[in-house]
A and B are shown apart, each in its own frame.
Chain A
Amino acid sequence: DQQVKQNSPSLSVQEGRISILNCDYTNSMFDYFLWYKKYPAEGPTFLISISSIKDKNEDGRFTVFLNKSAKHLSLHIVPSQPGDSAVYFCAASVRQGGSEKLVFGKGTKLTVNP
């Protein structure tokens, strides 16, 4: 049951360039989407979120884009920094009338090379 899919297990970019992490979902009931970053031996750290009524949300170097018709979202990091190297999880939830449990993708390991 892969309601949230991250098809790229890994991504490598040069410092200063843009990192683009992609996520697809299948459940049209999802109305809220989040990105978490995870370092080894730590819990997921909240990065940025977007409601389904929006198509873009920006926070500093991080921007999330949502394409509802394609059931696709992406996280852009620009400029990428070596400290951004981590596993990035896409997550989705049903906020209206739901328990707001998070459904996670499998994650994409981002490596930013100096």
Chain B
Amino acid sequence: EPEVTQTPSHQVTQMGQEVILRCVPISNHLYFYWYRQILGQKVEFLVSFYNNEISEKSEIFDDQFSVERPDGSNFTLKIRSTKLEDSAMYFCASRGRGSGSRINEQFFGPGTRLTVL
């Protein structure tokens, strides 16, 4: 079964550094999302992306964050200047479109654990 993949699985960085988290969505999916989960808290929506533009973003997704689909297969999340509070698991998700019980659901990658020191 096709799956969403994410790299790296764990990223350690110094406060103030830039990080890029990478995702390869399921190949025929059209909608892409980033979520994060701070340890012990709920999974929170960051941003949704469709047709090469952001369709919605949360309050968390400030000017330090950006997303890109550089080559038609990868979907990246960049944090320009990381803060301690950015430490979390970051999940990428993708969704198809059409009829059928599963194609319209969001499927998640395994996550990238970001640790900001």
Task: Give the residue name and chain of the A residue nearest to B95 (CB).
Answer: A100
Known contacts A43-B91, A44-B91, A45-B108; is A100 also within 8 Å of B48 by CB?
yes
Given known contacts A99-B56, A100-B31, is B42 in contact with A43 (CB within 8 Å)? Answer: no
Cross-chain contact of B105 among A49, A105, A106, A107 (Cβ < 8 A): A49
| B33 and chain A: residue at smallest CB distance | A101
Cβ A46 vs Cβ B105 within 8 A: yes
Does residue A64 face the partner (Cβ distance < 8 Å to B)?
A: no
A102 and B93 alpha carbons, distance in the complex (Å): 10
In the complex, residue of chain A having the shortest beta-carbon distance to the beta carbon of B105:
A46
Let me know if B110 and A42 touch, CB within 8 A: yes
Pick from A34, A99, A103 the residue with the most CB of B within 10 Å.
A99
Count contacts between A and B, CB distance < 8 Å: 56
Instruction: Please give, as numbers and ranges, the residues of chain B lying within 8 Å of A91 by CB-CB distance.
Output: 43
CB contacts (< 8 Å) of B58 on chain A: these are 101
Q: Is the CB of B105 within 8 A of A101?
A: no
Determine whether A89 belongs to the interface, using a CB cutoff of 8 Å to chain B: yes
Measured CB to CB, the residues of B under 8 A from A are 4, 6, 31, 33, 35, 41-45, 48, 55-56, 58, 91, 93, 95, 101-102, 105-111
A-B contact pairs, 23 of them (CB 8 A): A41-B111, A43-B91, A43-B93, A43-B109, A43-B111, A44-B108, A46-B102, A46-B107, A91-B43, A99-B55, A99-B56, A100-B95, A100-B106, A101-B45, A101-B56, A102-B35, A102-B43, A102-B45, A103-B45, A104-B43, A105-B42, A106-B41, A107-B42
